[in-house]
Structure 1
Amino acid sequence: PGGGDSILVRGRSMHVAAYAKDFLFQEAQLKQPISTLSGGERNRLLLARALAQPANLLILDEPTNDLDMDTLEKLEELLESYDGTLILVSHDRDFVDRLATSTIALNGRGDVVETPGGWQDFLRQNPGFLAPPPTHAEAAPSGARRVEKAEPSDRAPKKQAKLSYKDARRLEEVEKLMETLPVEIARQDAVLADPDLYARDPAAFDRAMKAAEKARAELEAAELDWLELEEKKAALAS
């Protein structure tokens, strides 16, 4: 901002080349057109721009999606040293474990729990919170005599309960969507990254914006369905 070769990052002046190096860019790449960068490099550049903004509150929604290992490690290192409040929304439970000092979990039934620490701390302190509600057989009327039927000793063991055919198909579908939709989102984001696109072709900009929003909404729905079905699957297995 304002030209020159320095940038102010969290109150400290840094040379652009030194700041870019923090995000694994070489000095020779500083004059490279953004259109020639790989998807991982573009993500790194977006992170560099976001983290350079003066702020004491940072909200990241699924920041680990589509990141290579080098960028993932760098992101974790930078967030660990962030001196503001970080709100992190993520299905990457290992990432949450390494960064979170407090975890807020929602079980889809209107219950919300906040637990100090990361994901594993939450699981230890709130067993069964995410499991679907159990289905209980109707209780026998008061005073009714309970009759137990003897089972033949050679009866085959009861089969383990499984997801219904419909749920199993949906689980397969959302797993595929969780692989393909991030690619589509990255593709549309690459189109929108062109700073001259809106001036050159407003209709193309609008199409890319709507396509990216649609893909993000579908990805969010797929992730929620996947989490619900995996919890249901685990509950049935137990």
Structure 2
Amino acid sequence: TLIVVSHDRYFLERVTTVTASLMGDGTVAALPGGVEEYLAKRRKAAPAAAPKAKGGDSRAAKKELSRVEREIAKLDQLEAGLHAQLAEQAADFTAVATLDEQLRAAQAEKAALEDTWLELYEQLEV
């Protein structure tokens, strides 16, 4: 048995056989559906915890949504560049390891931004 703590969804989905999560109320829940089940539970809890955006909040949420979209686009470009560099330097193990580490970090950041984007989008849908 090995306990792994990570925000990297790709890693968790590929490596783990059993997923558990610390829920917002301080409990630990077994999640047979993995990360997707956790995100679904979090989405269900979010509307009850956070009221829908209204007036000035809506404008701020739209602005934040736009910022997140720009960040995701930048990370898409970064990923494409890293993939190209990986292809060019396939024979250099140390370069590949460094590029792979950068790629995984970019993918993890992008996944977090996509979650934020979903939350903001749901908040704007009244």
Question: Which TM-score tier does this pair reach, normalised by the shorter chain?
Answer: 0.5 to 0.7
Kindly state the Cα deviation for residue 183 of structure 1 after the two structures are TM-superposed. 1.9
Written as runs of structure 1 = structure 2, the 5 A alignment for 1:1-238 is: 62=10, 87-88=12-13, 104=20, 113-117=29-33, 119=36, 123=40, 128-129=44-45, 131=46, 133-134=49-50, 161=58, 163-165=61-63, 167-194=64-91, 197=92, 205-206=94-95, 209-238=97-126
Tell me the amino acid that sits aligned with residue 226 of structure 1: E
Tell me the amino acid that sits aligned with residue 230 of structure 1: L
TM-score by length of 2: 0.53
SS at match of 1:128: helix
Q: Is the 8 A contact 2:21 2:29 kept in 1?
A: yes
SS at match of 2:58: coil
Tell me the amino acid that sits aligned with residue 44 of structure 2: G
Structure showing the higher helix proportion among its residues: 2
Kindly state the Cα deviation for residue 115 of structure 1 after the two structures are TM-superposed. 2.7
Tell me the amino acid that sits aligned with residue 13 of structure 2: L
Query: What is the aligned residue count?
Result: 112
Q: Is the 8 A contact 1:103 1:114 kept in 2?
A: yes
| Larger relative contact order (Cα-Cα within 8 Å, sequence gap ≥ 6) | 2
Larger radius of gyration: 1
Kindly state the Cα deviation for residue 234 of structure 1 after the two structures are TM-superposed. 0.3
Could you tell me how far apart the structure 1 residues matched to 2:38 and 2:9 are?
A: 21
Could you tell me how far apart the structure 2 residues matched to 1:121 and 1:180 are?
A: 29
Could you tell me how far apart the structure 2 residues matched to 1:120 and 1:217 are?
A: 23
**Structure 1 alignment gaps of length 5 or more:** 1-59, 64-86, 90-100, 136-157, 199-204
Tell me the amino acid that sits aligned with residue 125 of structure 2: A
Q: Is the 8 A contact 1:184 1:215 kept in 2?
A: no
Could you tell me how far apart the structure 2 residues matched to 1:191 and 1:111 are?
A: 47
For residues 198-218 of structure 1, the C-alpha deviation after alignment (integer angstroms, 9 at most, x for no partner) is 6xxxxxx44x54444334323
Q: Taking every aligned residue pair, what percent have the same amino acid on both sides? A: 21
Of 170-179 and 101-110, more deviation after overlay is shown by 101-110
**Structure 2 alignment gaps of length 5 or more:** 1-7
RMSD: 4.4
For residues 112-165 of structure 1, the C-alpha deviation after alignment (integer angstroms, 9 at most, x for no partner) is 643334646973x67624x27426xxxxxxxxxxxxxxxxxxxxxx86935242
Q: Is the 8 A contact 1:188 1:209 kept in 2?
A: no
